Structure 1
Amino acid sequence: MRRSLIALSLAIVASTSLTAAARADIKSPVVIATEGAYAPWNLTDSAGKIVGFEPELIDYICKRAKLECTIVAQDWDGMIPGLIAGKSDVIMDAISITPEREQIIAFSNPYARTKAGFLTARDGKFAKADGTGSTLVTTPTLNNAADTLKSLRAKLSGASIGIQTGTVYAEFIEKNFGDIATIREYRTNDERNLDLENGRLDLAFEDTVVLMPTVEKANGALEFTGPAFGGTLFDAGSGFGFRKGDDELKAAFNAGIAAALADGTIKALGEKWLKADVSP
């Protein structure tokens, strides 16, 4: 989803060893970079610790694999460059598995799949677009979405739509709405959501799970409009990112994901943090 190189010295160390038992065949500690600001996947609590769905899943995986793991905070746009430069060993931030990214880094098997949608003012002119409350399950070809896109383009014409820069959602919005709406890119979701809450932006488009805390905070002032987009439209799911060639580390994480799916851990963490079962 994101790009640009930021020195690791700027990263905030959010937690230290998750388990003391390290595997001799994998470098220790395993440094895992995440944004720490992509709630509820990962967020920084009042004590400065990174918590959320992904940190708890990492805890499970590292303990199961007997790995010593350290989580550090990293700006989204520096995450992939930092991984390639060796400043981290794993990246996690609900990162979409896409063919373009697979040319640069390696991915684990997916541990989650979600959907994305538009959020707007409840009483605004862009509310209650056709399909509101439904989910359109589609593919990258959008072969079953022509009528939906036509209707949304008509409804959203002239709107300002906020997206986080460098994401798969940004690509979708630019391609399908860039000629009929003003697309505003934000470095972080928090900046975008603040503009939406304060009426400086008409719509946000994002993972619906990520937008839910904003919906709840707004106490009825904001609502989703139009259908949510699911299926494989954006990606093959969310996965952990690795440097190409780190096969042992990737295998250890894949084994942990398989176990977490089999024993219900991912389902339970999804319901705890995301209010939904996001098992792929």
Structure 2
Amino acid sequence: MKLSRWLGIAAAALICASPAMAKDWKTVTVAMEGSYDPWNLTDPSGKIVGFEVDILNDVCARAKIECKIVAQDWDGVIPGLTAGKFDVVMDGMSITEERQKTIDFSIPYARSPIAFLGTKTGPLAHMQNAGKTIDLSKDDAAAKDAIEKLRADLKGKNIGLQVSTTEATFADKYLKDVANVHEYKTTDEHDTDLLAGRIDGTLADTTYDIGTLAKPDSKDLAFVGPQFQGGPILGPGIGAGFRKEDKDLQDIYNKALKAALDDGSVKKYAEKWFKMDITPSGS
């Protein structure tokens, strides 16, 4: 075959193949747990609503993309994303170094520490450093001292947390050799065991805990001990997850999200759902 003819065929094949390979992102499927109140939750009609739904609706309107929300159990969000079951994950997911080995993230749209809940008169009621926020990104003497005091306070205690979370990674690094750590599929399950007295405390995101404390049956619960943020485990904030090969979708999302952050829209959604500003600039 003559070179000129071969080049012509190759060029034609490339032109024909390109539209099939490219994604126009007119429709995007977004996974949420639907049970992480108030980030995302399922209302009585079966519809998923919440802080992240408001952000998503805003971002998709700005980007002129049709977005479809699907429910997905927490422990399947990253495997489902990489397997192509959906295009984006929004589920209160912290941006961490470990997760970034597998997926990419948007810019952060929220930032909040992790914290312990316990009963007001229970075994964790008098933990040290109560109410303080410890920034682990500093890795200084104060942070190390806070961890040592935490370990002493939790020695032999039963702590509940959700599986495959930053809280689980935190506990694995700092607590597994001193406390009895119980992992649950959902946060609702560890809340139930705390209220029933089967565990001494829970470890979860503070914004989730605020929702728990607002429930009528939680009147005997309270924040106990210190709160923690930052560092390699807890990361710089919470963002949406993307497949590494979908840089174009990530760029589209980031552009719209930045606009929503800059004009105060995300702050408005945060104050609606959390009664406080948890945007990266406000937290």
Q: TM-score, normalised by structure 1?
A: 0.87
What is the alpha-carbon distance in structure 1 between the residues aligned to residue 140 and residue 267 of structure 2? Answer: 28
- Aligned-pair CA distance for 1:138: 2.8
2: distance between equivalents of 1:52 and 1:143?
39
Equivalent residues of 1:105, 1:242 under 8 A apart: yes
Distance 2:273 2:185 in 1: 24
Alpha-carbon distance in 2 for matches of 1:228, 1:162? 16
| Residue equivalent to 1:228 | 227
Match of 1:206 among 204, 207, 219: 204
Counterpart of 1:192 in structure 2 is: 190
Q: Which residue of 2 aligns with 1:269?
A: 269
Equivalent residues, number = 257
Identity %: 46
Cα distance in structure 1, aligned partners of 2:103 and 2:24:
18
Which of 104, 128, 131 aligns to 1:130? It is 128
CA displacement at 1:26 relative to structure 2: 2.4
Distance 2:138 2:49 in 1: 32
On the 8 A contact 1:121/1:221 being kept in 2, the answer is yes
* Structure with more helix by fraction: 2
Within 2, Cα distance between the matches of 1:44 and 1:140?
A: 38
Are the counterparts in 2 of residues 106 and 244 from structure 1 also a CA contact under 8 Å? yes
Per the alignment, do residues 235 and 46 of structure 1 end up closer, same or farther by CA in structure 2, a change over 3 Å counting?
A: same
8 Å contact 2:162–2:187 — kept in the other structure? Answer: yes
Aligned partner of residue 32 in structure 1, secondary structure: strand
Structure 2 SS opposite 1:260: helix
2:62 corresponds to which residue?
64
Task: Give the Å deviation of 1:175.
Answer: 1.7
SS in 2 for 1:145: helix
Q: Any idea what the Cα deviations from partners look like across 1:126-169, whole Å, max 9, x if unmatched? A: 11312212222231746531221222222221110001111111
Give the partner amino acid of 2:222.
E
Q: What is the identity, as a one-letter code, of the residue corresponding to 2:72?
A: Q
For the 8 Å contact 1:122–1:220, the answer to whether it is kept is: no
Contact 2:161 2:202 in 1 (8 A): yes
Q: CA deviation at 1:28?
A: 3.6
> 1:134 is matched by which residue type in structure 2?
K
The separation in 1 between residues aligned to 2:43 and 2:205, in whole angstroms, is: 21
Rounded Cα–Cα distance in structure 2 between residues aligned with 1:94 and 1:212? 14
Task: Indicate the structure (1 or 2) with the bigger Cα radius of gyration.
Answer: 2
Are positions 1:238 and 2:238 aligned together? yes
Please state whether the residue corresponding to 1:72 is helix, strand or coil: strand
C-alpha distance in 2, partners of 1:208/1:139?
18
Cα displacement (A) at 1:188: 0.6
Separation (CA, whole Å) in 1 of partners of 2:85 and 2:23: 19
- The aligned amino acid for 2:225 is G
- 2:19 is matched with none
Secondary structure of residue in 1 paired with 2:115:
strand
Q: 1:142 to 1:221 in 2, by over 3 A?
A: farther
Mean Cα deviation higher: 150-159 or 189-198: 150-159
Q: How does 1:6-21 map to 2 (within 5 A)?
A: none
- Coordinate RMSD, CA, aligned: 1.6
Q: What is the rounded CA distance, in whole Å, between the counterparts of 2:29 and 2:270 in structure 1?
A: 24
SS at match of 1:161: strand
Q: CA deviation at 1:195?
A: 0.5
**Aligned-partner SS, 2:234:** coil
Contact residue 108 and residue 240 of structure 1 kept, 8 A: yes
Which of 166, 169, 173 is the matching residue for 2:167?
169
CA contact (8 A) 1:138 1:144 kept: no
Tell me the equivalent position of 2:278.
278
Task: Report the CA distance between 1:271 and its aligned residue.
Answer: 0.9
Structure 2 residue matching 1:229: 3-state secondary structure: strand
- In structure 1, C-alpha distance between the alignment counterparts of 2:130 and 2:257, rounded to whole Å: 33
- Taking the TM superposition and a 5 Å limit, the aligned residue runs for 1:31-50 are 31-50=29-48
**Equivalence for 2:16:** none
| SS of match in other structure, 2:214 | helix
2:176 paired residue among 170, 175, 178 = 178
The one-letter code matched in structure 1 to 2:255 is A
Structure 1 alignment gaps of length 5 or more: 1-23
SS, match of residue 226 in structure 2: strand
- Cα distance, 1:220 vs structure 2: 2.9
Aligned partner of 1:100 in structure 2 is 98
Aligned to 1:239, what secondary structure does the other structure show?
A: coil
Tell me if the contact between 1:38 and 1:189 (Cα under 8 Å) persists in the aligned partners. Answer: yes
User: What is the rounded CA distance, in whole Å, between the counterparts of 1:219 and 1:76 in structure 2?
Assistant: 24
